[in-house]
Chain A
Amino acid sequence: MVIRILYFASLRESVGQEAEELVLPEGIDTVGKLRSHIAARGAQWDAFAVGKTLRAAVNQRMAPADTALGEGDEVAFFPPVTGG
């Protein structure tokens, strides 16, 4: 299963990229599991660690950790919003 991941704002800067395609490993089927999977990449991905405040959206809708992932999904990670 292939998904597209987007990173925004301070998160985009800390991970050093704004988007990537990812082939999901077996068993990585929710937003929460994807977050843990990404956190394990190393120090540059510290913003994904447990306890860090991070928001996620799947196909442009806010998505809690238990949201299921599907083929071709657009998954976005970003810090809490500060518009207005």
Chain B
Amino acid sequence: MTKSLFFRPLLAVDGGAVTVRVQQDNFDVGREIAAITRGNLAIGAVASFVGTVRASNDGSGVSAMTLEHYPGMTERALEAIVAQARDRWDVFDALVVHRYGRLEPGDQIVMVVVASAHRGEAFAACEFIMDFLKTEAPFWKKEETPQGLRWVDARETDNCAAERWKTT
């Protein structure tokens, strides 16, 4: 733990709101970063991650994928993950935007932006949020391949990535 509980109420007042959006529409990470950082001169670091659709997966071409989610639970799960990250690191603001529906190679799927005073917290919290999003947020991908439609299987490497945060 790098942050004491004592500071939580202060952050809740001074920092931005935890924000999560699940949407069909595309997003503009630059615009989101600008909105988060505007007016907060205590921010010294902004880490961002954008996940995109690959044209191949598991040895097969992918012409498109459809992302399904669980409206309500998906937002709650993402909010819980962001809240855990904010408990763990000093973070001014964190935003997760995740898309659903049909997406094609090159399309953006997900973005995470974390703003903090120094880079260490921003990098760590951003990676933490993505690792847990992969294993705990209810989304499912169905790919269109030359062999037909197929649901993507969960990866063991994703479980390992989330597990490692539990021992540090």
Q: Which residues in A have some Cβ–Cβ distance to B below 8 Å?
A: 6, 8-10, 57, 60-62, 76, 78-84
Contacts and interface: CB of A to CB of B under 8 A. Distances in A.
B133 A84 contact: yes
B70 A6 contact: yes
B144 interface: no
Contact of B134 (A6, A9, A61, A84): A84
B119 interface: no
B51 A81 contact: no
- Identify whether the interface residues of B are mostly helix, strand, loop, or mixed: mixed
Interface string B62-93: 00000111101100110000000000000000
A81 B130 contact: no
B151 A81 contact: no
A10 B151 CA distance: 7
B73 A76 contact: yes
10 contacts: A9-B68, A9-B140, A10-B151, A60-B72, A61-B73, A76-B73, A81-B139, A83-B139, A83-B141, A84-B134
A6 B138 CA distance: 13
A56 B89 CA distance: 30
